Structure 1
């Protein structure tokens, strides 16, 4: 088979000259969801002063993240049923409706329900952003495409607090949600113009694919438990919440291994497969992002920074993540890719460790200036490894339906890991008691240790996939064991 046939089978269904259009839609979908993870956190104090309902304050992030995690797991099935255009239109419409409902909310309960609707749209768009790369871009551009997708998480973590802080400082929170609705609507209007209207030949799945209800319930409960753990009072309560979440995740894995109706591809649970190690490494990299939730607090308390300045200081991790991927995505050699997979978690862990060592009470301005490049280097560790791990997940199976599911799983793993990491960081903050310096060190040292484990999982991924390349395997449909024509769900 020729190289041209290879690329056609792998999903080059859109003309190469129109690539900017699809990438605007794919990246825009991931970006609006990433921005909204932290946008409302900056706006909520102003919203509470307007609407009341302070007792529901903590549920803002919980409802959004749980809805987002659930929706990412349905992205592959949405593609099978409605195709690229239909699935994206549903995602943007849901997010736009949720954003408008947030802007018009008359009470806190309505705002929280609207945030859940936003989360469903954001999660679907995040999952689609990775899954549709297989059909919207030629394989030679998968690494750059996934680099852009994952960079949107970093940009969102930077833009969310900045946008929210700007509107909060102006004393008006509703226009921020209206702006997000407009951005989402514009991206949605582009969808029919720039995306393939159907999936490539051989990739259409069941028009009514079954939903893995048990898996969804288990992972929803886990996401809810870890999100609630992050807002509980007391170290023991937080640890108990994280423990319950881990048990639910274990139950999820056990169920998926023995079920024919699953969220992640069958390959994830097969012995000798690299996919489970790829997902674990992606998750541990995402843990490092959790530090951004607490860095503004440390900057204000330990260095006396103004809130807006502290917010931009904390975004140095996301900035390093986003910018580094520009160069990392150009690396194609198998040996270099393997090294970047391992180097990324090590660099992230080293940056967090050094940042912990540099924490001081009443830190002088020169020391604060040193913090920024250190955090940038930590974020660069994510940028070095993330795009290559994403392509490894996308290329892990020859079955196109399973391949889309593997790609959509990237967003699921990232969203769930950010939720887990934030809750774990909340537990570590409490270990410091009344000392903000101790709290900062516990968070940074603890997250550094967890992220360093990613080097081990990356090594395991390299060992089971010794020759990673940016070129995927042929994507011809697999046959069912019972003789049917489609891959088994």
Structure 2
């Protein structure tokens, strides 16, 4: 080791080991505050706003409709937000790369807050729909940029831990959203569903301005503005056809036919544009991969069923069952819990077993069964019956949601990993828009017919008409006692008929799932987090970010133990996993102090002492004072272990690790190889500060 000094001495003043040149990917983090918890907290607040707005509105919708009118346009309160956030997501991601994510994140918060304030002040349904679209533009930015900034703040090994927090926010808002929406609506006003964003957003904005310091590394993109505009326009045209056809205009009217033709023409133009785009928003070559195409269609169906049901079930509960807005949120919990339990369990099982095909098959089948069960509900259904049916439906969605993202990531090349992930979630988002719109069209059409049939020949009180009852369900309370059951029955059957019409769509997904080819799962493909599973708008991450997220499981104690067990076997040594880890630390830093190491790392003292005893007994390291340093034999073994570790990381990447692999993937493996020796907090800080360091480990 003495011969390896060459000026690479440590900083004697602070006891730091020798400084190393910054590396690409983790470069420039020296400007970032060591304590990332405050900025991470602000990012979580931003994510909370966007995630909450996907679920908090559902239980407030019946009251909003009663106040502003326009039951036939109820779906657009949800659809406007979904379409706008979906269209904006890829733009926020690439603009953040080019112009700096901090600035763009602040702009996204401001747009979201302006949209929220205007939604709260809306005086008509058309105003609310327009302001929800503005809110959606900001929400798309909050979603994509908050997760991207995590990658700027923390190294790959730590990234999974923090991204797990964002997934937890999604899980929490799925449960809390309907409850909070009901509470605000019942005890304050439905307008507070939107106003609540303002104080939270202002706090996030202030903390981001003061505490978030990330280097601006401009990455040039050829942004596909035209492709983004065209795909958003195609989706809007088709959703307008689905929501306005048969209600506002007849199916054969010039308006509906014109919208349908326009949608088809724009779709043809979109295909032509994407073939020539340098960085297409949705690369058409992905559709040549059968697994991606089938997964995209099934994702569409899952979004269709999930958001369609979540939008109209609160109306069933509040109008037909007569429960309060708050209690309607409570009644929705079995569905959400079924979804969370099944999605978490299926993802973990697939990651551990490598077998995944059973989940999309079972998930789509159970979803279809759930829709048929929901069709059985009526005004006399008990709470236990509703809870059971809601849980079954949620279970079906959960079984398939995580796995769809996972199998898409497994099927594509490294260069397409990022766009394939966002593509799979994009189709779920478009499916959600269609689901809400089509459910709304069927509901509005059936309700008008059934109310007319129910009151044909009946004498209605002055001021109460079929049209009035259709627009505002509160009119049911003004009906004579004898007429109320007929009105409730009309509302109940109109909503539950929607689920019957949706069941064949889910069955189509069940049939398609059988055609998925179960390829062997890459070692690096692990269960996606809940941001990729529950988010209504697409997740936009680069291929590099997705591999970082997948491999970040190695940063956990269990992951590190497993990788060191593997590399020890691979190198052909009979050593404890912790002993291999200790040898590689000594190779990297030149020494190790077991006592201090136990204080600063997550490895228990007993494990470290046992490892230290083994390397000393085998003369792989010797004591110099309280420090352990490598012998010549120990250094040779550490070299072989280091190579085995890098080979093991490469193996996890499967056929992404080809001879023409991109530079950033090679760099990532090197970074993770280094980081597996320990985080910055675990670096030795005293005892042998001026000693030379051998090797880069």
- TM-score bracket for this pair, using the shorter chain length: 0.7 to 0.9
Deviations 1:78-127 (A, max 9, x none): 23213443333332232123223444668877655543321111122234
User: Who is 2:505 aligned against?
Assistant: 450
SS of equivalent to 2:239: helix
5 Å matches for 1:127-142? Answer: 127-128=144-145
1:374 equivalent in alignment to 2:392:
yes
Further displaced range: 100-109 or 164-173: 100-109
User: Who is 1:117 aligned against?
Assistant: 134
User: Of residues 434, 439, 455 in structure 2, which corresponds to 1:420?
Assistant: 434
1:271 equivalent in alignment to 2:457:
no
CA contact (8 A) 1:67 1:116 kept: yes
Structure 1 pair 144–329 and aligned structure 2 pair: CA distance change class (3 A):
farther
Deviations 1:134-184 (A, max 9, x none): 766777788888777677666545544433332222353444423212223
Q: CA–CA distance in 1 between the matches of 2:368 and 2:153? A: 35
User: Of residues 355, 366, 369 in structure 2, which corresponds to 1:347?
Assistant: 366
Q: CA–CA distance in 2 between the matches of 1:250 and 1:111? A: 28
Further displaced range: 122-131 or 108-117: 108-117
1:213 equivalent in alignment to 2:226:
yes
Q: CA–CA distance in 2 between the matches of 1:68 and 1:57? A: 18
Q: CA–CA distance in 2 between the matches of 1:247 and 1:450? A: 22
Q: CA–CA distance in 1 between the matches of 2:26 and 2:287? A: 25
1:54 positional shift: 9.9
Further displaced range: 158-167 or 235-244: 235-244
Q: CA–CA distance in 1 between the matches of 2:44 and 2:241? A: 30
1:316 positional shift: 3.3
Q: CA–CA distance in 2 between the matches of 1:340 and 1:13? A: 42
CA contact (8 A) 2:87 2:228 kept: no
User: Of residues 374, 377, 384 in structure 2, which corresponds to 1:359?
Assistant: 377
1:309 equivalent in alignment to 2:327:
yes
What's the RMSD between the two structures over aligned residues? 4.7
Structure 1 pair 373–133 and aligned structure 2 pair: CA distance change class (3 A):
same
Structure with the larger helix share: 1
CA contact (8 A) 1:227 1:420 kept: no
Q: CA–CA distance in 1 between the matches of 2:321 and 2:62? A: 23
Q: Which runs of 5+ in 1 are unaligned?
A: 1-7, 479-489
Structure 1 pair 27–237 and aligned structure 2 pair: CA distance change class (3 A):
farther
Structure 1 pair 48–196 and aligned structure 2 pair: CA distance change class (3 A):
same
CA contact (8 A) 1:39 1:161 kept: yes
SS of equivalent to 1:86: helix
1:33 positional shift: 2.4
CA contact (8 A) 2:52 2:177 kept: yes
Deviations 1:436-485 (A, max 9, x none): 5654454223333323433455555544676573355467369xxxxxxx
Q: Which runs of 5+ in 2 are unaligned?
A: 1-22, 451-489, 527-550, 552-652, 665-697
User: Who is 1:260 aligned against?
Assistant: 277
CA contact (8 A) 1:349 1:448 kept: yes
Q: CA–CA distance in 1 between the matches of 2:159 and 2:395? A: 25
Structure 1 pair 23–409 and aligned structure 2 pair: CA distance change class (3 A):
farther
Q: CA–CA distance in 2 between the matches of 1:365 and 1:39? A: 22
Q: CA–CA distance in 2 between the matches of 1:60 and 1:175? A: 15
1:32 positional shift: 2.2
User: Of residues 355, 377, 386 in structure 2, which corresponds to 1:336?
Assistant: 355
Structure 1 pair 197–327 and aligned structure 2 pair: CA distance change class (3 A):
farther
Structure 1 pair 71–20 and aligned structure 2 pair: CA distance change class (3 A):
same
User: Who is 2:94 aligned against?
Assistant: 77
User: Of residues 307, 310, 315 in structure 2, which corresponds to 1:292?
Assistant: 310
CA contact (8 A) 1:273 1:464 kept: no
Further displaced range: 171-180 or 20-29: 20-29
CA contact (8 A) 1:84 1:198 kept: no
Q: CA–CA distance in 2 between the matches of 1:140 and 1:249? A: 44
Structure 1 pair 119–213 and aligned structure 2 pair: CA distance change class (3 A):
same
TM-score computed with the length of structure 1 as normaliser: 0.73
1:215 positional shift: 4.1
Q: CA–CA distance in 2 between the matches of 1:372 and 1:321? A: 10
User: Who is 1:398 aligned against?
Assistant: 414
SS of equivalent to 2:380: coil
Q: CA–CA distance in 2 between the matches of 1:19 and 1:378? A: 38
1:295 positional shift: 1.6
Structure 1 pair 43–444 and aligned structure 2 pair: CA distance change class (3 A):
closer
User: Who is 2:50 aligned against?
Assistant: 33
Structure 1 pair 217–153 and aligned structure 2 pair: CA distance change class (3 A):
farther
Deviations 1:360-406 (A, max 9, x none): 4522444334334333423432555356357x28x84433xx55444
Q: CA–CA distance in 2 between the matches of 1:194 and 1:455? A: 48
1:234 equivalent in alignment to 2:247:
yes
Structure 1 pair 287–190 and aligned structure 2 pair: CA distance change class (3 A):
farther
CA contact (8 A) 1:25 1:190 kept: yes
1:231 positional shift: 5.4
Structure 1 pair 396–20 and aligned structure 2 pair: CA distance change class (3 A):
farther
User: Who is 2:12 aligned against?
Assistant: none
SS of equivalent to 1:344: helix
